[in-house]
Amino acid sequence: MTLTITGLFAKRAEEIITDSKVLVCSLDPRFRDAFEVDLAVYLRHYRNVNAVPCSTIEGLRGTLAGYDIVHLFCNISPDGAPVDWTHATLTGSDLINRCCKRDVKVLWIANENSADAYIKGFRAIGKPLNLVMTVCRNGMGFSKFLENLLSRISSGETLPVAWASLVPQADGPWQRDLPGCIFFAGRGGVKLLS
């Protein structure tokens, strides 16, 4: 696929997904507490939420189909590969490609990993996927942010619009309450209704 300047800025058609399907998944039992907290937030905003508390990379490969949002807990190796509790890996780009093939609209790596690892392993440019990669959850700041974000997107705002309203780009005291995340809007026109 050739990417042109006009292709980068072309407006994508708006998609409206009703009864969005959510997968909250963990590849390591050490993330159980954060998994439970985030799951509770999703359950307040979406009716169709499936929780897989502990899975493997192999299990994840078969689980992705049919979901609009995948909220995943997994360690990312220094070279950018998601790792499960058995130490099995796949590349971040392979995970992105699998999500795209299964029509996932949002992939969110929800636990803390280094920005360098994400940058090394997750190649999303040109992919029809909104990708969020968490660098710092910032304690309860993450839950509050997730609550506010899901409230907006489950009601019809697109993820980029909701994100921009909650994460002002200007310096200010509000930034100390926010989690640190890298956000790539590869499917900005999608609306993920409850």
Residue 184 DSSP class: E
Residue at 5 is within a domain: no
Residue at 2 is within a domain: no
Residue at 24 is within a domain: yes
Buried b (16+ CB within 10 A) or exposed e, 73-89: bbbbbeebbbbbbeeeb
Give the residue with greater pLDDT, 185 vs 12. Answer: 185
Residue at 8 is within a domain: no
70: domain range? 15-167+175-192
Count of domains for the chain: 1
Residues 92-132 pLDDT 10s: 999 999 999 999 999 999 999 999 999 999 999 999 999 99
CA angle at 146 for the pair 144 and 152, rounded to the nearest 5°: 105
Pair 62, 92: CB distance under 8 Å = no
Cα 120 from Cα 185, distance rounded (Å): 18
- Measured in degrees and rounded to the nearest 5, phi and psi for residue 71 equal -110, 105
Q: pTM (2 decimals)?
A: 0.92
Other Cβ atoms closer than 10 A to 36: 13
DSSP-based helix, strand, coil % in the chain, nearest 5: 40, 25, 40
Q: Count how many Cα atoms sit within 13 Å of the Cα of residue 28 in the half-sphere of its side chain.
A: 19
Biggest CA pair distance of the chain: 44
Cα 116 from Cα 126, distance rounded (Å): 20
Residue at 105 is within a domain: yes
In the prediction, which pLDDT does 1 show?
42
Pair 117, 77: CB distance under 8 Å = yes
Residue at 146 is within a domain: yes
| For range 159-180, the mean pLDDT | 86
Residue located via tokens 């310096």: 171
Residue at 35 is within a domain: yes
pLDDT above 90 for 155: yes
Residues 19-78 pLDDT 10s: 999 999 999 999 999 999 999 999 999 999 999 987 799 989 889 999 999 999 999 999
Domain harbouring 68, CATH code: 3.40.50.720
Other Cβ atoms closer than 10 A to 174: 11
**Token pair of 31 as six digits:** 């993330």
